[in-house]
């Protein structure tokens, strides 16, 4: 039960303190709703929902990296910048994958006929 409480605290902290987490979460809510409402095959829904959930997970990890780095020191340091940049790059790759998955699913379902 403690672990669940810590997880919920993390989600709340992400929502309250991280604009990027709110943006990715809202995108996920809209994208998952669209995936459920559009007439898509089950595999397409699974790919899209999984890709949206992955982007939320990556943003939580990116925010955790940023918080840990900022807690350690507010001084500018090459390794701190690298850690933050790598977290940001992970989210860029994840969001690029999300866009690609939407394009591929929509093309496969609607553009192939």
DSSP state of 75: S
Q: What residue numbers does the annotated binding site for a divalent metal cation cover?
A: 18, 66
Q: What residue numbers does the annotated binding site for substrate cover?
A: 45, 59, 88, 102-107
**Which of 37, 42, 14 has its CA nearest to residue 26?**
14
- Mutual angle of helices 42-72 and 78-110, in 10-degree steps: 170
Q: What residue numbers does the annotated binding site for ATP cover?
A: 6, 18, 66, 75-77, 84-85
Is residue 78 part of the annotated active site? The answer reads: no
35 Cβ contact list (under 8 Å, min separation 6): 44, 45, 48, 49, 52
Q: Which one of 25, 31, 59, 98 is the catalytic residue? A: 59
For the annotated catalytic residues, the residue numbers are: 59
């Amino acid at each position: 039960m403690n672990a669940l409480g810590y997880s919920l605290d993390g989600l709340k902290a992400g929502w309250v303190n991280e604009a990027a987490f709110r943006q990715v979460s809202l995108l996920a809510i809209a994208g998952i709703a669209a995936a459920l409402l559009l007439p898509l095959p089950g595999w397409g829904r699974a790919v899209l929902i999984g890709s949206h959930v992955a982007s939320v997970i990556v943003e939580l990890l990116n925010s955790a990296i940023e918080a840990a780095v900022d807690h350690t020191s507010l001084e500018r340091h090459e390794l701190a910048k690298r850690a933050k940049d790598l977290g940001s790059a992970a989210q860029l790759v994840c969001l690029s994958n999300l866009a690609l998955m939407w394009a591929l699913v929509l093309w496969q379902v609607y553009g192939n006929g």
